[in-house]
Structure formats: structure tokens, C-alpha cells
Amino acid sequence: MDSIASKKRFRRLIPLAFITYSLAYLDRANYGFGVAGGMGDELNITAGVSSFLASLFFLGYFFFQVPGAHYAEKHSAKKLIFWSLILWGGLAAATGMATNVAWLYPIRFLLGVVESAVMPAMLVFLSHWFLKEERSRANTFLILGNPATVLWMSVLSGYLLNSFSWRWMFILEGAPAVLWAFIWLKLVKDRPKNASWLTDKEKQGIENEFNKEQSTLKPVKNYREAFKSKAVILLSLQYFAWSIGVYGFVMWLPSIIKKASNLDIVSTGWLSSVPYVVAVVGMLVLSYYSDKTLNRKTFVWISLLIGSIAFFGSYLIGSSNFWLSYTLLVIAGGAMYAPYGPFFAIIPEILPRNVAGGAMALINSMGALGSFVGSYIVGYLNGVTGGPSASFVFMASALFVSVLLTMAVKAPAAKEAKKRMEVVSQ
């Protein structure tokens, strides 16, 4: 593939994908800051209700993944994401206008429904633009919007809460999504053949490479056949367990730090941002070597095993040494995020394009269900036990299960993948 065309695609599309997913993640993850910054007290939200509201988002997120991927593949990822941006920005801002807790139930659920289309639509979108040897890095730059957003959102939210209120935090962080929707609509095309910034030769070269890739994959008739695949089932269960750890961590880290350290909300925001610095570095490094070696599985399970061990170590230390426990949480957070790029590169390498998007959506929907379980149970355990120790064991166990499930998946080995790439390039 022409390296000039490759650089053009990365330069043009990755910043747009990154910003879009960053805005989605901002409006989903700032709930924990809202609770810690006064929303819980003002609306009389109990620990149990708070856990349920945090997890209700993921219940809505669970149901509409596959329809979203299907629409993106058959019609337009561009249009689907445009409307999603407008709706989720409005719902996020509406959170700041809630006068009692009853408002938050439909808002959190509908926010999950609207955002459920974003991840599968984005993965489908990138699979139309980036080839096998580019895909882990493309996916990583997309999902980098997750930890990178939590990084700056943790600091920004702390300052907004300190300077204004939890209400203005939600409103000011929801508005950019609506504005960005129109920029997205103007700049994005669904497929290379529609892009005016590529030459005809570049368009044809990309199309030829995609056709060669698809020719090496075993045909799969429909979603039903794909969903019965052992690899898809194992990856769905793996992502369920993995997401328990990730979202139990993301949703409740600010509350855990604030309670354990007795620091103010601004300092809590700064400390909450550090794991995501490690995550960004880890994601970039792993995606680079994953594309270079075409080895996906090994990078995923080793990274998640490190996360599991770090959570368990933080449990063993307990409250005896806050800074050591916090350091292990930083490692756990970084390790959980690092392998996203290689993970989402697995499915397009084992399933053809007509079903790969739906399979990724199914896997992501199981991740949403795991996120529901993780965010609810971690919040519940923290409330019942009065500390994070039980939730650390819970998240460590979930990550260890995901390690075992990853190792059980029969994905193409690195040597076999390299052979396929050599055949395709001939």
C-alpha cells in the first residue's frame, strides 16, 4: 500500500475519530465527578441509587449495539454518528438540569442508548478505511479518546466543580458534542471512493488491497453464523469480564481516592488523571508492536494479567499505605487500557467484512453488560463495606477470568498472519 496514501488517511481521519469518541467518553464518565462534587448530596442520592444510576447507562448501551453496527455497515456510519452526537450532547447537558433523582433514571438510560451506536459504528468506519497492518494503530487512536478524555476530564471537571457547580459541569461538558456534530458531518466520508482528497489511483489502490484481504478469509453467510463462532463467543465473554474491571475503576476511582486521601476535589481530579497517562503510553506502545508483529492475543492477555495482579496487590496493602496502593491502581488502570487496539483488530482478521461489524458490536454489547455489572457492584461493595478492598478483589478476579478466556481464543498466530500478509501483498 502506498505510504503517502496511508499517511493521508491517518492524518485526515484519526483526529476526527479521536475527538468524536473523546466527546462520547466525556459525557459518560463525568458522572462519578458529579456525584463526588455535590450532586449526590443535593439530590439525596444514596449509595445504592448512585451505583444503579452509574450502571443504568450501560444497560441502555447494551441493547442497541448490533442494530447500530448493521446500520453503519449497510447505510452510513457518518449519519449515525452525527445524530448520536447531537442527542448525547443534549442528554448530557440535561443531567445538569435535573431537579430530583427521578430525572436521572431516563437520562442515564437514554444516554446509554444513544451512545451505544458510537463504538461499533466507529469500528466499522475505520475498517472501511484502514488495512490489516494499520488496524491496531487506527483502533488504538480511536480508543485513545477514552483514557485521554478521562485524563483531561478529571482535571477539568475538578476545576469546573470548584469554580461553578456540578450542574454547570454537565452543561458545559455536554455542549461541545452538539457543535462537533456539524464539523463531523462536513469533513467525513463513509468510504475512500467518496473522498475528494484522495486521487483516483489512491482510491483504486486501497480498494484493491481490501479485496485481497477479504479473499483470504473464509466466507460467513450471516450474523447468525458469525455469532455462533467459538472465537466470537469467547471474545464476548472475555470482554464482559474485562469491562467489569475497566468501568468499576473508571466510575469509582475519584470517590475511592477522595475517601482514602481526604484531599479536595481539585487534587482528587489530578490524582485520578495519572492512570490515564500510563494508559495512553501503553496503548501506543502495544498497538505499534501488535501491528509490527501481527500478534494480537499475547499483548492482550499479558497486559490484563498485570492489571489483575496490581488490583490484588492494592487489596493486600489496604489503607496501610495510600501512596503505594495508589501506585498499584495507576498500574492497573494503565494495564487495563493498553490492549484495546490489538483486541479489536482480532475480529476483522478472522471474519469477513459482511459480518465483522456485527460481531464487534456483539462483543462490545457484552462489554456494556460487563460495564453495568462492574460499575454497579463496585459502587455497591464500596458503600456496603465502607472501603474499596472488596471491590479490588472483585475487579482482580474479573480481569483474571478475562486472561484465561483470551488464551482460549484461536486467533491467527503471528507467523500465519505474516504469511497471509505476504500472500496478499504479492
Q: What is the DSSP string of 332-365?
A: HHHHHHTTHHHHHHHHHHHS-HHHHHHHHHHHHH
Closest CA to 168 of 252, 95, 265: 95
User: What integer pLDDT is reported at residue 425 of this predicted model?
Assistant: 45
pLDDT, tens only, 192-223: 888 888 888 888 888 888 888 777 767 776 77
Helical spans, DSSP H, in 64-199: 65-71, 77-95, 101-115, 118-127, 132-143, 145-163, 166-187
What residue ranges of the chain have pLDDT lower than 50? Answer: 417, 420-426
Cβ within 8 Å of residue 303, ≥6 positions away:
282, 286, 335, 336, 338, 339
Of 424, 25, 421, the C-alpha closest to 246 is 25
Query: Residue 32: which of 268, 267, 307 has the closest Cα?
Result: 268
pTM of the model: 0.75
pLDDT at 421: 47
pLDDT at 411: 67
C-alpha cell at 60: 441502555
**Predicted pLDDT at 237:** 95
**Hey, is 196 helix, strand or coil?**
coil
- In order of 47, 262, 377, 411, the CA distances from 209 in angstroms are 53, 56, 46, 21
3-class secondary structure, 40: helix
The residues, any chain, with a CB within 8 Å of residue 247's CB and separated by 6 or more, are 58, 370, 371, 374, 375
Phi and psi at residue 116, in whole multiples of 5°? -60, -25
The pLDDT value recorded for residue 185 is 93
